[in-house]
Each structure stands twice: as structure tokens, then as C-alpha cells.
């Protein structure tokens, strides 16, 4: 399956802050075929460092980030469903973000880019979905930050979402999650090359961004998965620990593919996200949704621990809403949602197939 990233431009988008961003681009890919009554569309939302390339192989031979789950015969079966994935607003993979040129000034936005929210990301996705003439998505699905967008979709556009699959996600960040993001942001901003965000056409803040990514990778793994993957092994040539070598490699690799300012804006959007908008209980806000839920968490995921998924499940039960929930056993930590394929495939396939039947009845 060869994938091509497309781009669409809209005249403007009004952000939650009231700022109007104009114009706005969205990069997206699609897989499968939209049926005649446009009832088989699924929006897949990506995690923090993901992009529109979710499945298939791109021109450079890179596989999509959820290729093991999207494709013919897979969990999101492209023989049956039309799958859409777009790069988030504020990103650096084709959708408008801080590294883009501000048409008003002819300069890059950098830190003049307006504050964006998970809600703004969803607004842009809704514009894209509307442009396809799709009025109701069969499902919105995603892990981690993708799961936040899923939840936002379900409460913001209840009539436009038949089912929701938030995986390894949360309705709001805990202090611990915000803390890790803050360490990453401080690492970037402490790099002199960051230069208040004006590093474009100069040397990017590679050291800071690399450290930020290293912190991230630690939180994506588990004690057990690190023990299995690295143990205390050292590299023969220089004596450094395997885990050090791995983190440095991942950090440096990230610098080539991610924009430091996007890192700042998107992590801030995640930290500010609160489905309940400051309220203690999730019950009233979730009561707005008219959606079937499949919620999945993983035993060893300490970054997005199961209690955060259970809080959502419990709130849905308070109004007797339709929810399936499972905590899958895995050693892979937060990474599990991208790595544990077989169980999730079975769950997603069954859930979507049931949803398709319910939608047909409606």
C-alpha cells in the first residue's frame, strides 16, 4: 500500500483563544474507499510526535506509525472502512504550525504562533471531515494525545461520532505528566541555539530537543521493557551503557524530523487539555456524547496509567453510557499501544463491526 500525503488549505480557523489563523493548511492521508452514503469513515488521530502518515509506505519507504493496525484485513480494515489521518494543528509535518511562514509578515511564525489547544486540533479535523461531505464518522480512534482528540470529538461533536476508541489516554494530564513535559520544554529553551524560537535558517536547538526526546522515551517504556531491552549491557567500543546509546540515538534522530517550537506548542496543548474544563467530575461533560466507547489501557503504562482510563469508564457508567473497557497485559509501557498488535486488532475489529451494524439500524 503506497501512501501519499495530501494537503488542503482553508481560508481561516478561529481558535479557542479567539485568535483567527489565516490561512490554515492540513496535511492528511486516506486509505480505503469512502462508500456511497459516506458511513464508513474513520478518523485516526495521532499521538504527540506522529503525523498524517499512519499507514502504508511513503515515497521514502517509511511505514506509517500505525501500519500494523490500518490496512486490508487489519484492525481498521481498509477493505471495509475509509480511514483518514491528518497532521495536527501546530505540528511540523504539513499542517500549519510555528515553523510555517506567517503570510502577514513573510517571516516564520516561531513564537508568534498563537496558543493552540486539543480543541483547535479537533476543529481543523472537523473542517477536513466536512470537506469530504462526511456528516458522521463511524469512529474516531487514537492513542495517547490521539486519545485526547478522540474524547474531545465525542463531546464536542456528539452527533458526528458513532464510536470512539481512546487508547492509553486520559481526560486530563496529571501533575506527573505535566512535569515530564515541562522538563522537556525547559531542555529545549535552555539550549542557546533555541534563540527564543528564532532558529529557523540557523542551527536548530538540537541538543535541547534531543534531551527532551530522551526524557520522552524513558516515559514511553517500562522498567521491565528497559531491563529486557538493555539490562546493564555496555557497548564494547566505548563502554557506554546500551540504554544511554539508545536514548542518544533516538534523541539525535528526532532532531532531524521534529521542530522544537512545535514540541513546545503541542506539549502545552496536551497539558492544558481538560475534558471537564476544570470541573471535578467528568460525568456532565461525557453525558453530552452519543457515542459507543472502546477504551483500552495497558498494565505497565505508568505514563498514562489505567486509573485515568477507569475515571472515564466510571463517569460513563454513571449515565449508563455504552462503554467497553479492557486493561491489556503488556510489558511495553506506554509504547504498548503501538506495539501490542494482536489483541488490539481483535478488539478493534469486533467493536467496529458491531458499530457498523448499529449505524445501519439507525
Partner 1 sequence: MKGENGPLVHELFGRGDYGLISEIVEPGSCVLDLGCGEGELLAWLAEHKGVDARGVEISPAKLQKAIAKGVSAYQGDIESCLADYPDKAFDYVLLSQTLQEIRYPLQVMKDILRVSRRAIVAFPNFGHYSVRLAHLFNGRAPKTKLFPYDWYDSPNIHFLTVDDFEILAARQNWQVERRYFLSGTREVKSFPNLMAEVAVFVVSNR
Residues in the site for partner 1, rule: CB under 8 A?
292, 294, 313-314, 317-320, 322-329, 343, 346-347, 349-351, 353-355, 357, 361
By DSSP bridging, strand 82-86 and strand 76-77 are unpaired
Specify the residue, 95 or 163, whose C-beta has the smaller distance to partner 1: 163
Between 257 and 317, CB nearer to partner 1 = 317
Contact 83, 179 (CB under 8 A): no
Give exposure, 140-167, as e/b (b: 16+ Cβ within 10 Å): bbbbbbbbbbbbbbbbbbeebbbbbbbb
Known active-site residue 301: yes
Beta bridge partners of 167: 143, 296
Output the CA angle 269-272-274, nearest 5 degrees. Answer: 120
Q: In whole angstroms, how close is the CB of 331 to partner 1 at the nearest point?
A: 15
Is the CB of 259 or the CB of 340 nearer to partner 1? 340
Report, in Å, the least distance between residue 294 CB and partner 1. Answer: 7
Q: Quick check: is 62 catalytic?
A: no
Phi-psi region of 133 (alpha: psi -120 to 50; beta: other; left: phi over 0): left
Counts of helices then strands in the chain (DSSP H, E): 11, 14
At closest approach, how far in Å is the CB of 7 from partner 1?
36
Catalytic hit among 39, 99, 144, 309: 144
Q: Would you call 144 a catalytic residue per the annotation?
A: yes
Cell numbers for 289, please give them: 456524547
Radius of gyration of the chain (CA): 20
Backbone angles phi, psi at 102, to 5 degrees: -80, 115
3-state SS string for 127-181: HHHHHCCCCCECEEEEECHHHHHHHHHHHHCHHHECEEEEECCCCECCHHHHHHH
Measured between alpha carbons, how far is 279 from 311 in angstroms, rounded to an integer?
14
Out of 46, 173, 217, 334, pick the active-site residue.
Answer: 334
Closest distance to partner 1 from the beta carbon of 324 (Å): 5
CB of residue 361 to partner 1, shortest distance in Å: 8
Nearer to partner 1 among residue 78 and residue 355 (C-beta) = 355
| Distance separating alpha carbons of residues 4 and 6, to the nearest angstrom | 6
- Least Å from the CB of residue 23 to partner 1: 42
Q: What are phi and psi of 274, to 5 degrees?
A: -150, 105
Cβ closest to partner 1, residue 233 vs residue 319: 319
- The catalytic position among 49, 301, 309, 335 is 301
Q: Which is nearer to partner 1, 173 or 292 (CB)?
A: 292
Positions marked catalytic = 144, 301, 334
Amino acid at each position: 500500500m503506497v501512501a501519499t500525503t495530501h494537503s488542503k488549505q482553508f481560508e481561516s480557523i478561529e481558535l479557542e483563544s479567539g485568535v483567527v489563523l489565516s490561512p490554515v493548511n492540513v496535511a492528511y492521508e486516506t486509505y480505503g474507499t469512502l462508500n456511497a452514503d459516506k458511513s464508513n469513515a474513520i478518523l485516526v488521530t495521532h499521538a504527540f510526535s506522529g503525523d498524517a502518515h499512519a499507514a502504508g509506505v511513503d515515497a521514502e519507504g517509511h511505514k506509517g506509525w500505525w501500519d500494523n493496525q490500518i490496512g486490508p484485513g487489519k484492525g481498521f480494515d481498509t477493505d471495509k472502512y475509509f480511514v483518514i489521518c491528518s497532521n495536527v494543528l501546530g505540528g511540523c509535518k504539513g499542517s500549519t504550525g510555528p515553523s510555517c511562514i506567517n503570510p502577514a509578515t513573510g517571516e516564520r511564525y516561531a513564537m508568534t504562533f498563537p496558543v493552540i489547544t486539543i480543541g483547535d486540533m479537533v476543529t481543523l479535523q472537523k473542517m477536513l471531515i466536512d470537506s469530504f461531505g462526511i456528516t458522521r464518522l463511524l469512529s474516531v480512534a487514537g492513542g495517547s494525545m490521539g486519545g485526547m482528540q478522540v474524547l474531545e470529538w465525542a463531546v464536542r461533536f456528539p452527533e458526528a461520532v458513532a464510536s470512539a476508541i481512546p487508547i492509553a489516554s486520559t481526560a486530563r494530564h496529571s501533575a506527573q505528566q505535566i512535569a515530564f513535559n515541562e522538563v522537556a520544554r525547559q531542555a529545549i529553551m535552555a539550549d542557546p541555539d533555541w534563540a527564543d524560537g528564532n532558529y529557523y535558517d540557523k542551527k536548530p536547538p538540537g541538543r535541547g530537543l534531543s534531551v527532551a526526546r530522551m526524557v520522552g522515551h524513558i516515559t514511553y517504556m517500562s522498567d521491565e521493557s528497559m531491563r529486557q531491552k538493555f539490562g546493564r549491557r555496555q557497548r564494547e567500543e566505548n563502554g557506554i551503557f546500551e540504554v544511554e546509546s539508545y536514548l542518544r540515538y533516538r534523541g539525535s534522530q528526532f532532531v532531524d524530523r521534529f521542530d522544537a517550537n512545535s514540541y513546545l506548542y503541542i506539549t502545552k496543548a496536551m497539558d492544558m487539555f481538560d475534558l471537564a474544563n476544570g470541573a471535578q467530575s467528568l460525568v456532565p461533560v461525557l453525558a453530552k456524547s452519543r457515542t459507543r466507547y472502546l477504551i483500552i489501557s495497558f498494565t505497565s503504562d505508568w505514563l498514562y496509567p489505567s486509573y485515568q482510563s477507569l475515571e472515564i469508564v466510571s463517569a460513563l457508567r454513571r449515565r449508563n453510557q455504552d462503554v467497553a473497557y479492557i486493561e491489556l497485559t503488556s510489558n511495553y509501557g506506554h509504547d504498548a499501544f503501538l506495539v501490542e498488535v494482536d489483541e488490539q486488532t481483535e478488539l478493534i475489529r469486533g467493536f467496529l463491526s458491531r458499530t457498523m451494524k448499529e449505524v445501519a439500524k439507525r
